[in-house]
Amino acid sequence: YTKANTRYFVFTLFPWLQIALLAVVAWYPASILFSLWNPIGAPNAAMVAPIGLAIFILLLRWPGRRWRLQQALDDWIFSFDFIHGRRADIEARLNAFAERLVACIREGGVDEVVIVGHSLGATFAVDIAARALEMDQDLGRRGIKVSVVTVGATIPKCALHPDAQRIRDQIARLATEPSLFWAEYQSRSDPISFYRFNPATLSRITSEEATINSKPTIRRTQIHDMLKPETFAKYKFRVLRLHYQSVMANDRRSAYDYFMLICGPVALEQWSLSKLGLLDFFHHAEDARITSHDGSKAAP
């Protein structure tokens, strides 16, 4: 993680640092209570430990829940189980999703099918697409364009694990399938993701040109362009809120707009390969200059 994205590595430390902090905070009042009671002959640790444990459990409820500590721990436990194939219920749901996807494409009646995955869900989006290709090798050759979008993705979170060969094989299957288009949108302002990192090659991105010509096509998003300055300032240090912005509505038009990307009239591949994204297809009226996918500026 340190080599892939240092900020993500720092993010992984937060749950453990929070646990350590709560443990210290719990032990201190437990020691004070013991010193007040100090029953003769009772071992120090034997008395302090249960009191400290009780306080620690209370701290897990508050402020632990407010810090989303349990959510973070659940996420890591779930990811570890998923890597090792220990969740039969999830395997069944992913298979059911892939079967439904194949059935919808065979049924037809649409121009394009877009599979979207955000954060850990990006790994599931790749997984589902790979399973669907195993069920139907002609998946993207039926006249209906099939595309995959991964945004705010944490695919390397699982793929970098030594035991994640199955996941790496699925990524390679998707990356080498010519009938499917895969776009990955990354943001520097989102520390809970792997910015400037290729989820297919599991290597750092060194050239902007390579991100467009590679698969997936990797485009940069600018969260500060999606939001009004006062809104961005409000959420600047709320990393989870910024992480979710990539699948939320914008304050203003920018090169990236999640709902227009998924539900708009422009095909995903056409949008993703265009220089200014949304702004290449719709007029915009912004007082500020707007940043394109490749980091250049578009005058209003």
Of the candidates 219, 203, 220, 197, the one whose C-alpha atom is nearest the C-alpha of residue 269 is: 219
How many angstroms separate the Cα of 18 from the Cα of each of 24, 59, 185, 254? 10, 10, 30, 36
Q: What pLDDT does 289 receive?
A: 46
Question: pTM to 2 decimals?
Answer: 0.88
**What is the token pair recorded at 50?**
């249960």
Q: What pLDDT does 296 receive?
A: 61
Average pLDDT over residues 26-31: 87
d(CA 100, CA 92): 12
Cβ-Cβ contacts under 8 Å for 191 (sequence gap 6 or more): 7, 8, 10, 11, 239, 242, 243
202-228: b (≥16 Cβ within 10 Å) or e: beebeeeeebeebbbbbbbbbbbbbbe
Q: Give the tens place of pLDDT for each residue, 107-128.
A: 999 999 999 999 999 999 999 9
Q: Give the tens place of pLDDT for each residue, 58-86.
A: 999 999 999 999 999 999 999 999 999 99
d(CA 259, CA 226): 12
